[in-house]
Amino acid sequence: MKTNCTHMKIKKSLFIKQKVIFVLLLFSLFAFGGIIYTFSNSAVLDSQHIRLVEFSEKVEIEVFNGRIKMDELLSGNKTITNSSVFERFDRAENYISDIEQIISKTKKIKLDKENHFLYQLSELRLLIHQIKEIVRTKINKDVNSVDLNLAGSYLEFMLKFDEYGKTLHAFISENNYRLKRELFILLTSIFTILIISLVLIVRLMNSLIRTNRVLLHNTMKVEQSERRRIAMDLHDGLGAMLSSVGLYSKILEKKFKDDPKIHGQLNQITLLSNQALQTVSEVINNLNPSILNRYGLVESLDRLCARANSIGNVKLHLESKKFIGEMNKSTEVIIYRIISELINNTIKHANATEAFITLKGNTKIILHYQDNGSGFDSRKLSLHEKNGMGLLNIIDRIESIGGDSLIDTTPGNGFAITIELRIDK
């Protein structure tokens, strides 16, 4: 059941990571799509505006050139034909048609400025057509009174074209304003989605951290349960067998006490069985520290330090007077193992002469461990893990009970770690 639960936690962890990737991918696609859409619209709009201005200028130029051609034709310039005169006005009308076509291709909702702009285009076309008809009458009938009408129509066209130019400018400004408004809405939307994405990612990451902690905690529980089972098997199986071997060897010692050679060999078997039984007892205690059930955490740590002081070259100091907290047995076991591992690292690797252990707190437990050993580069923690320092394993144990740790060490300046753990009474 616990294995299945662990597998479920792993699947949940992977599912959360997939969610984070999905949120980031969705935001990236939206932002990229918005940027492409904006640049595309901006490019299309700029192209339309350039063409509108270009065609509008050509309308004025063609009408102006048409009048010049007409004057040259009437003055007797034989290189100028009637068709070349009317061709200028026809081109002007075609450019107006091109302008109307550009406006018709826009998918925007027609605004008042657009309607007014189109209305002025139709008036320009009407005036050009009127000028063209007056020119045709002038050329065909050579009526002098037509000059006045032609001048008046041309003046009216120029005034109307000036008004049209202002409307064109207003129309372009309105389109640019709409583009800026769309860009502002898009950026606001992207920013809003970014905030929402960040909030979702933070929540997902917090959920992932909680899931990892639960997974690690369950792993530690399974490990502790297996340790307890193995310890019981060793105690009931191998321990009982070694006790029996020692008992039978003692019986045989008494039976062969008159034979010094056999008696010595049996005595050696008794000593070896006792040593093996003591070793098994130490292994059982390491697997399942029953000393915690008998003495509690503080006294067990005191006894651990006393035993280490009696056999090692490192002097251990334990300060626990300010500790008044209570924790469940599984947490006590993990704390005991953490301190045991730290002491083991100091003795085996640190070349230290002293180590200090401080345990204090109530609902918030603070454990501080420090030695005066050789220290190491904490940035190469994984390398020390390969060399047997076991600090990564210690950090995993701390995280499994919801604790935080801070390591302070540099080469030649010893090692220190502070562990903070909030517990419920």
Question: Are 139 and 34 within one domain?
Answer: yes
Half-sphere exposure for 234 (CA within 13 Å, toward CB): 19
Give me the pLDDT at residue 358, please. 92
Q: Report if residue 257 sits inside a domain.
A: no
For residue 150, is it within any domain?
yes
Q: Which residue has the higher pLDDT, 356 or 64?
A: 356
In this structure, are residues 84 and 70 in contact, taking their beta carbons and an 8 Å threshold? no
Pairing assessment for the beta strands 404-409 and 415-422 based on DSSP bridges: antiparallel
Domain co-membership, 58 together with 195? yes
| Domain assignment of residue 266, yes or no | no
Q: What is the DSSP string of 102-116?
A: HHHH--SPPPHHHHH
pLDDT for the residue numbered 388: 43
Do residue 187 and residue 336 come from a single domain? no
Does residue 1 fall inside a structural domain? no
* Among 186, 210, 234, residue at a domain's last position: 210
Higher pLDDT, 142 or 334: 334
Residue the block writes with tokens 């139709």: 122
Q: Give the strand order in the sheet containing 415-422.
A: 315-319, 354-361, 364-371, 415-422, 404-409
In a shared domain, residues 56 and 205: yes
pLDDT in tens, 370-387: 999 888 877 666 544 444
Alpha-helix residue ranges (DSSP H) falling in 234-259: 240-255
CA separation for the pair 304, 127 (Å, rounded): 109
**pLDDT, average across residues 83-107:** 81
CA 246 to chain centre: 63
Tell me the backbone φ, ψ of residue 398, rounded to 5 degrees: -65, -45
**165 and 304 share one domain:** no
Report yes or no: 357 and 415 within 8 Å, Cβ to Cβ: no
Q: Is the pLDDT of residue 141 over 70?
A: no
- What tokens appear for 356 in the block? 């200090």
Indicate if 45 and 182 belong to the same structural domain. yes
In angstroms, what is the C-alpha Rg of the chain?
47
118: exposed, middle or buried (Cβ count in 10 Å: 0-12, 13-18, 19+) = middle
Name the range with the highest mean pLDDT among 26-30, 53-57, 82-86, 385-389. Answer: 53-57
Q: Lowest mean pLDDT of 94-98, 107-111, 336-340, 345-349, name the range.
A: 107-111
Q: How far apart are CA 133 and CA 210, in angstroms?
A: 86
Residue-level pLDDT at 371: 93
Residue 157 lies in a domain: yes
User: Which tens digits make up the pLDDT trace of 161-187?
Assistant: 888 888 888 878 887 888 788 788 877
Tell which wins on pLDDT, 10 or 89.
89
The residue from 190, 210, 230 where one domain ends is 210
User: By the 8 A CB rule, do 330 and 291 touch?
Assistant: no
In a domain, 115, yes or no: yes
Q: Which residue has the higher pLDDT, 332 or 388?
A: 332
In this structure, are residues 265 and 282 in contact, taking their beta carbons and an 8 Å threshold?
A: no
What pLDDT band is residue 230 in, cutting at 50, 70 and 90? confident
Indicate the pLDDT class of residue 106, thresholds 50, 70 and 90: low
Residue 403: how many other CB atoms lie within 10 Å:
21
Both tokens assigned to 49:
């505006």
Mean pLDDT of the chain: 76
| C-alpha–C-alpha distance, residues 338 and 289, integer Å | 13
pLDDT tens digits along 52-66: 888 888 888 888 887
Regarding whether 301 and 168 lie in a shared domain, the answer is no
Q: Which of 182, 210, 238 is the last residue of a domain?
A: 210
Contacts of 283 (CB under 8 A, 6+ apart): 231, 234
Domain that holds residue 158: 27-210
**Same-domain check for residues 41 and 163:** yes
Q: Domain holding 371: CATH number?
A: 3.30.565.10
> What whole-number distance in Å separates Cα of residue 301 and Cα of residue 286?
13
Confidence of residue 220 (pLDDT cuts 50, 70, 90): low
Residues 6+ apart with CB under 8 A from 103: 114, 117, 118
Q: pLDDT per residue over 239-278, tens digit each? A: 677 777 777 777 777 777 777 778 787 778 878 877 777 7
Tally of structural domains, the chain? 2
Q: 360 versus 116: which is more confidently predicted? A: 360
Other Cβ atoms closer than 10 A to 130: 16
Distance between CA atoms of 97 and 104, rounded to whole angstroms? 10
Question: Residue 179 belongs to a domain with what CATH number?
Answer: 1.20.1420
The string of pLDDT tens digits covering residues 34-52 is: 778 777 777 888 888 888 8
In a domain, 357, yes or no: yes
Quick check: is 133 in a domain? yes
Residue 368's pLDDT band (boundaries 50, 70, 90)? very high
DSSP letters for 172-231: HHHHHHHHHHHHHHHHHHHHHHHHHHHHHHHHHHHHHHHHHHHHHHHHHHHHHHHHHHHH
Q: At what angle do helices 146-233 and 2-74 cross, to 10 degrees?
A: 170
Same domain, 206 and 338: no
Rounded Cα–Cα distance for residues 50 and 240 (Å): 99
296 and 188 fall within a common domain: no
Diameter over CA atoms, the chain: 164
The 3 state secondary structure assigned to 357-398 is EEEEECCEEEEEEEECCCCCCHHHHHHHHHCCCCHHHHHHHH
Judgement on whether residues 170 and 312 belong to the same structural domain of the protein: no
Question: 279 falls in which pLDDT band (50, 70, 90)?
Answer: confident
pLDDT of residue 4: 43
Residue 8 pLDDT exceeds 50: no
